[in-house]
Amino acid sequence: MQIYLNENLSAYHTFGIEQHCQVLVIVNTVAELIDVYRRPEWESLPKLMLGKGSNVLFTEFYEGVVIVNRLQGIDVREDSDHYFLHVQGGEDWPELVKWSISQQMPGLENLAMIPGCAGSAPIQNIGAYGVEFQDVCEYVDYLCLNTFQVIRLNRAECLFGYRDSIFKHQLYQQAVVVGIGLKLAREWQPHREYGPLQQLASDCSPTEIFECICDVRTRKLPNPELTGNAGSFFKNPVLSGEQFQSLKAHYPDVVSYPTPQGVKVAAGWLIDQCGLKGFQIGGAAIHAQQALVLINKEDATASDVIQLAEHVYRCVYEKYGVALEHEVRFIGRHREVYLSMLIKEQQS
């Protein structure tokens, strides 16, 4: 375990914005994680579990303990039908996908290059190109912060939804994901229904899908090591059939996808059609190639990003009547906060 006081967080989240925390702890085992929560000197402080920091924005000094997940290890077993992977929560997700393809264990290729660690994947139910984490999940292991016992939930018990899970609701701030179980079918079927994957042959290989997605992401999305960002900043809104038909009547070219919950509209298209690509407030800007990504262009502050996010929200709502919800987590002084709360504070 490594402990740092008043640590600069810029190196621990992909936005790369300078912000500090009261205590930062790097943990390598579940035992160390339990120790952090049980330490008397930190008992009254709020705590935040951080993986790769690829989905967070620290809005101000965090008066608490930031815990960096460095739990490592991958175990594999197999039977005649499936590969079963048990992955520790601190493993890097993009590297896991790359490794699984190299080991000829397909199934994760559509989720290539989604930044973050394995422990964050079920919380957000990450997804891309027609595949979500829930499609490959067998179970999730979490540390219960009430009993300090590791509990296993099967896929159904995780209550997965679009960018959603039980960890955002019933188990919010009561659980830390320490491991995941993946179930990959040997009898592999390609998922190539979205975007550039439609151009691939029906008998394409997992490697072809993986390489296609990596190529698209490399060309369209900024590398956080070079340009600070947290990936897709807003969720794709899901509209009711009635809402969507009303929108489509006015904007017939709207990009959308049917889902069991309604019609998913591409947030990037909405933002792009507002003419916001490249728009900048302070040091924060909307990426010139991908309107869904907000970037740290010129030493942005958290305030710059928040003001830009608010501007995007207002533009989309005023033009389309669609309220965007941010996918990136905002971390305030003591707890998670939301753009709607910050807007109200500014108005009061």
- Give catalytic residue positions: 163, 232, 327
CB atoms within 10 A of CB 265: 24
CA 108 to chain centre: 16
Helix axes 339-347, 302-320, angle to 10 degrees: 90
As a whole number of angstroms, the distance between CA 324 and CA 320 comes to 10
Residue 90's SS3 state is: coil
The residues facing 83 across adjacent strands are 78, 184
For strand 175-185 and strand 82-88, is the pairing parallel, antiparallel, or unpaired?
antiparallel
Residue 262, Cβ neighbours under 10 Å: how many? 17
* CA–CA distance, 22 with 224 (Å, rounded to integer): 25
Q: How many CA within 13 A on the CB side of residue 141?
A: 17
Pairing of strands 127-128, 131-132: antiparallel
Contact indicator for 104, 61 with CB cutoff of 8 Å: no
Q: Is there a contact between 210 and 128 (Cβ–Cβ < 8 Å)?
A: no
CA distance 226 to 37: 34
Residue 194 and residue 89 in contact, taking contact as beta carbons nearer than 8 Å: no
